[in-house]
A and B are shown apart, each in its own frame.
Chain A
């Protein structure tokens, strides 16, 4: 195989950079820049984070990410169809090695260190699974009405997710399942199958919930669910107003941060909840609360609008893509951005339980940002090569 020459050949094909989605790139750049600015404000007062050069690191990741966008956009995504299987295998090997040896070598099964930076392969796995599933579903789209093929795509997903679950990283695993579901939905999952699944789920809950309640005993260790699990659910559903510590305290402080922002916010670097550190993990998981406090309702809606705009531009690429593979890639990226944004914001607004999912493009985190920008690069690659009907 002579990929470099093939790459060159593909790149040199008559693509027109005129089709490059500058609106998408612009929105992404704006949001990433805003994220950096917000991280700078959020880490003020935390000497440790300042000393670790958090802002500088994020800037380097962002710059690298934009180079990645251009490079990936230049590469014809169609060759990724052939590369998806080796990528799948390599990713599984890396993840499996991390599970077995990561704890001993790097102190965690989630990442390995590459010089001063932590690399989190499970982030990259999101893009790999998009490519793998897009390839698989494109080739078998006509058989998607057959549940066995749906099951096969699920098996393919589980083959990768299992290693992430073992880390354990439940939230990334859920994201990957959501990608799987989004892609089989786009590929034409039968409505009756979906309804059956939904019905099955309701039936399952309908039987298991009463069973849980019947066997539930707060005193004993037996039963299908344990008291602490019930406690967590109750905590989320009926939060105690006067809790002063733990997760609940953090979520309460997030609400106070958001609510005290008002229409226009308290101003950049002037949010008391952020600057005086009442808000926890404010540079990553709860950066949405931080920006809500400092920029208020208006600033928050602008950020949400930018995110929505990015999702729409990705979906536009999916619509215009010249083939199903490209469409599913763009659609998969859109679904990833949409799901992560929805979960992260929902958590900040206390509409969803606390999970470790970052806000795309905005939250601090190199692997997450690079992965998202890589995804945008894929979308640009797709839109660059769409059927040019207009000329």
Chain B
């Protein structure tokens, strides 16, 4: 052993300096790194730290209430009692937790253990089927300071029992959540609609506005959908500081309270709606029983005040039960509705596009009189059948085509009123397409189109329903585009009686009659009586809106050589004209005559029993759609028919106009007629009750 070595410090100085340099370099590197993180990266890291701690909480708002015109609630928010677990408050002891689960399980009839929360079987509040343990464990792992729903919408009494028990069950609680309730259910489902979840597609739009998918719902149909923006309100907001477990530490800004949605009062009278539904369903039921088969599959009845456009009742059959969709849309029920060929989810009153049949003759009638195609007094020969030469081009030698009247015996000699009252097809063929020397110049498709538009056909009615359709008023250009064929004279004949390419919705048919009833003033049909805010202040009060007055506003297009072949646009002169008031009057008379002596005068309709003067028009529209084809009903010359009737009353000062449509109903007058008559009757009965009660 080297003594001197032990007693002397023989650690080389340079080796220590090398060490110092090495450490110095490492520390220098660290300081550079610190500079880059804390100084250069400050903005990014600071915002990430803020993102960590700041959380925005959307405070749910209350959706507006929907009332009928008398204040009866059609859509409302009611309390739903949900059993929830706040995982963070559960006891520490697993045995205690299991005991709570076990006791809770007995009360709510949900197994303690069921299934597994996995990507294939995710936890969806109130929907997915998982046991209490699985749901609670999901909550513990995802957000221990937020409640997870165990079961939803339990009975109020049960909720009270659990609330009491929850004193001894830390972590278990009852949450009260508003859900949508439709007291009138399927009666008004086609109008009111229903709610559904915010889809992925709409998620960003609604998130921006403070809504939370899986919590908030949006309108999927009807008024709920059309007035989504008015009804939904504005969610409130809390900006809070949260810790890593998601527990709220404090509010960073004062919370912004939610603004409830506005309330909507509809023009619907629930009592008349009930009556209308009962009458329509009763009539359909009776006929189906009579034929001993499910012959009539759908139907519509609408009542409207022709002077204001207010829809008083609107029944579309078949429909659905919107209460079943109040919390969630049950898949099996929704799929069942979608699979139903009768399309119960569609409001047929505004969305079904159908051959209008003879009710459309009102367009031909207004046009023919106003354009001087006939005079009211002119007598037209109306045999049961006429034959014309069908040509597709001017040089086409053509072929003979027969046009038959619904009355194969014919009506003989008819003046204008007789033509309308008896709804003679031959009369209107001749008016529409012209016939030899008798009616040298028919109205022609171009002029027919402009008059049809003037009384409400071929365009959107302006009603506040999302499924409103516009129908079709054909013209030669339309036919070229859609069918690749030239317009033939026969097409004009057929169109003149509302067959062929003419399709319309029940509401459009009602509008056409209401325009005549209202002396040419076409009121925009509306369902909205009033909009109020949550405090009841009126935001928007009812104001009837006239679309136009055909006797005042020049909306009738004037054409050059209107009956010549070719497209209508090319023949537009650019001039517009009006309908002469006497024309409307004559048609009113014709419709009155239909009730007193014509198609609507038969006993089956029963207008004799009503002491209020009514006027109307029937329609028996031939159709051959996929369903008729399937049943092999489309036999040439004997197609199945839809039944139509539209009428208004009182004749002198009309306050109600009603349309009824019965799919595959057969003859217009005998099937749809009684419906219209009974709805009119019900209206006046209710009115007399109201008068007696002094409420009007």
Q: Is B2 located at the chain interface by the 8 A CB criterion?
A: yes
B38 contacts across to A, CB distance below 8 A: 258-259, 261-263, 292, 296-297, 300
Q: Are B9 and A323 in contact (CB under 8 A)?
A: yes
Q: Given A262-B39, A276-B249, do A318 and B6 touch, yes or no (CB 8 Å)? A: no
Cα separation A293 to B49 with both chains bound (whole Å)? 10
A276 contacts across to B, CB distance below 8 A: 52-53, 241-244, 249
Q: Residue of B at shortest CB range from A189?
A: B15
Q: Are A45 and B37 in contact (CB under 8 A)?
A: no
CB of B249 to closest CB in A, whole Å = 7
Q: Are A338 and B23 in contact (CB under 8 A)?
A: yes
Flag the segment in B25-33, B388-396, B461-469 that touches A: B25-33
Q: Are B52 and A323 in contact (CB under 8 A)?
A: no
Cα separation A320 to B20 with both chains bound (whole Å)? 16
Q: Are B5 and A324 in contact (CB under 8 A)?
A: yes
B249 contacts across to A, CB distance below 8 A: 276
Q: Is A167 located at the chain interface by the 8 A CB criterion?
A: no
B27 contacts across to A, CB distance below 8 A: 304, 308, 342
Count residues on chain A whose CB falls below 8 Å from chain B CBs: 56
- 1/0 per residue, CB under 8 A from A, across B1-38: the answer is 11001111111110110011001101101110111011
Q: Is A331 located at the chain interface by the 8 A CB criterion?
A: yes
Interface centre among A188, A256, A300, A311 (most CB of B within 10 A): A256
Q: Is A157 located at the chain interface by the 8 A CB criterion?
A: no
B16 contacts across to A, CB distance below 8 A: 186, 315, 318-319, 331
Q: Given A272-B52, A276-B249, A319-B16, do A260 and B45 touch, yes or no (CB 8 Å)? A: yes
Partner of A138, one of B6, B26, B52: B6
Q: Given A186-B11, A297-B39, A321-B9, do A351 and B49 touch, yes or no (CB 8 Å)? A: no
- Name A322-368 residues within 8 Å CB distance of B: 322-328, 331, 334-335, 338, 342, 345-346, 349, 351
Q: Are B19 and A335 in contact (CB under 8 A)?
A: yes
Partner of B34, one of A253, A300, A308, A328: A300
Q: Residue of B at shortest CB range from A297?
A: B38
Q: Given A259-B41, A260-B45, A327-B9, do A186 and B33 touch, yes or no (CB 8 Å)? A: no
Q: Is A278 located at the chain interface by the 8 A CB criterion?
A: yes
Partner of B42, one of A186, A253, A260, A304: A260
Interface size class of B (residues with CB under 8 A): 35 or more
Cα separation A324 to B10 with both chains bound (whole Å)? 5
Q: Is B245 located at the chain interface by the 8 A CB criterion?
A: yes
Q: Are A182 and B19 in contact (CB under 8 A)?
A: yes
A334 contacts across to B, CB distance below 8 A: 19
CB of A339 to closest CB in B, whole Å = 9
Q: Are A331 and B244 in contact (CB under 8 A)?
A: no
Q: Residue of B at shortest CB range from A78?
A: B6
Q: Is B46 located at the chain interface by the 8 A CB criterion?
A: yes
Q: Is A142 located at the chain interface by the 8 A CB criterion?
A: yes
Q: Are A349 and B23 in contact (CB under 8 A)?
A: no
- 1/0 per residue, CB under 8 A from B, across A187-210: the answer is 110000000000000000000000
Q: Is B480 located at the chain interface by the 8 A CB criterion?
A: no
Partner of B244, one of A142, A277, A345: A277
- 1/0 per residue, CB under 8 A from A, across B243-257: the answer is 111000100000000
- 1/0 per residue, CB under 8 A from B, across A241-285: the answer is 000000000000101111111110000000011001110000000
Q: Are B23 and A262 in contact (CB under 8 A)?
A: no
Cα separation A65 to B94 with both chains bound (whole Å)? 42
Instruction: Tell me what chain B mostly uses at the interface: helix, strand, loop, or mixed.
Output: helix
Partner of B45, one of A259, A301, A320, A325: A259
CB of A341 to closest CB in B, whole Å = 8
Q: Is A139 located at the chain interface by the 8 A CB criterion?
A: yes
- Name A65-98 residues within 8 Å CB distance of B: none
Q: Is A185 located at the chain interface by the 8 A CB criterion?
A: yes
Partner of A273, one of B24, B39, B49, B241: B49
Partner of A278, one of B10, B24, B26, B52: B52
Q: Is A32 located at the chain interface by the 8 A CB criterion?
A: no
Cα separation A280 to B48 with both chains bound (whole Å)? 16
Q: Is A381 located at the chain interface by the 8 A CB criterion?
A: no
A318 contacts across to B, CB distance below 8 A: 11, 16
A327 contacts across to B, CB distance below 8 A: 9-11
Q: Residue of B at shortest CB range from A382?
A: B9
Q: Are B9 and A273 in contact (CB under 8 A)?
A: no
A33 contacts across to B, CB distance below 8 A: none
Q: Are B23 and A256 in contact (CB under 8 A)?
A: no
Cα separation A273 to B52 with both chains bound (whole Å)? 8
B10 contacts across to A, CB distance below 8 A: 141, 188, 324, 327
Q: Is A312 located at the chain interface by the 8 A CB criterion?
A: yes
CB of A113 to closest CB in B, whole Å = 23
Q: Is B44 located at the chain interface by the 8 A CB criterion?
A: yes
Q: Are A260 and B49 in contact (CB under 8 A)?
A: yes
Q: Given A186-B16, A256-B45, A276-B53, do A304 and B11 touch, yes or no (CB 8 Å)? A: no
Q: Given A277-B243, A324-B5, do A262 and B42 touch, yes or no (CB 8 Å)? A: yes
Taking A138-B6, A276-B249 as known contacts, 19 extra A-B pairs with beta carbons closer than 8 A to each other, sorted by chain A number, are A139-B1, A186-B16, A187-B11, A255-B45, A256-B49, A258-B37, A258-B38, A260-B45, A261-B38, A262-B38, A262-B39, A273-B53, A278-B244, A293-B49, A297-B39, A308-B23, A319-B9, A324-B11, A342-B23
Query: 8 closest pairs, A vs B, by CB?
Result: A259-B45, A260-B49, A276-B243, A327-B11, A277-B244, A260-B46, A259-B37, A297-B38
- A-B contact list, 9 entries, CB within 8 Å: A186-B19, A256-B52, A260-B46, A292-B34, A297-B38, A315-B20, A319-B16, A327-B9, A349-B33
